[in-house]
């Protein structure tokens, strides 16, 4: 699978990476499969390349946002008391109940965990900001994810981390292995078994990735 490319929290194509001026790059990070999948779900199965620019405001069309042009204004609905000290005060700006579609992703050849993702339609109306977000699922903290509201996709996909209620296992039976010769070529046949167990009380949608052995 091809890696996922992200510039300043914006998902971009490989072409955007090739056309990016090297003098504008501040930092490059590479996430391997396991870490990439935990943060970005099935989209990170091929790894993730994270690039931070010196301006830090790259857009999906390849331009940079000038300071002060792009912003979002929020109105706080009620009064809050902010202590006059150096402590950080966190207040709730808004609370949305958002219709969403859940799906699971597994790549047992890379990781035996099953990851849960959620897709949100019409997400533009919520005025989300690009940032790292804390994820809570079924009342428990499940980790961090990245929200990219500058995406041009119709759906906003957010990784919810590992789903402990679904298990997957990939094994190779010891008693199955065949060797054959065709001319001077040796053909080795192998078999793999993938066992999936859903411990939930309802059915799930799951995307399963595997590798095909090649010489």
- Domain limits of the chain? 4-74, 98-214
pLDDT tens per residue across span 24-60: 888 898 988 777 877 777 777 788 889 888 877 665 5
Report the pLDDT value the prediction gives residue 167, as an integer from 0 to 100. Answer: 92
Report the pLDDT value the prediction gives residue 197, as an integer from 0 to 100. Answer: 93
Report the pLDDT value the prediction gives residue 59, as an integer from 0 to 100. Answer: 58
Q: Could you tell me the pLDDT band of residue 92, with boundaries at 50, 70 and 90? A: confident
pLDDT tens per residue across span 126-136: 777 777 788 88
Q: Could you tell me the pLDDT band of residue 151, with boundaries at 50, 70 and 90? A: low
pTM: 0.55
Average pLDDT, the chain: 79
The rounded distance, in Å, linking the Cα atoms of 74 and 69 is 16
């Amino acid at each position: 699978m091809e890696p996922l490319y992200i510039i300043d929290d914006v998902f971009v194509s490989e072409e955007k990476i090739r056309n990016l001026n090297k003098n504008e790059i501040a930092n490059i990070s590479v996430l391997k499969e396991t870490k990439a999948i935990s943060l970005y779900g099935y989209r990170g199965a091929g790894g993730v390349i994270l690039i931070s620019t010196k301006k830090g405001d790259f857009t999906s069309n390849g331009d940079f946002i000038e300071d002060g042009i792009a912003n979002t204004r929020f109105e706080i609905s009620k009064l809050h008391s902010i202590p006059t000290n150096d402590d950080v005060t966190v207040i709730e700006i808004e609370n949305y109940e958002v219709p969403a579609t859940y799906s699971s992703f597994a790549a047992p050849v890379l990781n035996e965990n099953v990851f849960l993702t959620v897709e949100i339609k019409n997400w533009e109306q919520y005025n989300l900001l690009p940032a790292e977000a804390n994820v809570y699922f079924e009342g428990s903290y499940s980790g961090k994810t990245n929200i990219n509201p500058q995406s041009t996709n119709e759906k906003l996909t957010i990784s919810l981390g590992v789903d402990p209620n679904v298990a997957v296992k990939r094994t190779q039976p010891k008693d199955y292995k065949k060797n054959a010769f065709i001319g001077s070529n040796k053909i080795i046949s192998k078999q793999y078994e993938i066992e999936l167990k859903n411990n939930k009380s309802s059915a799930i949608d799951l995307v399963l990735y595997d590798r095909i052995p090649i010489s």
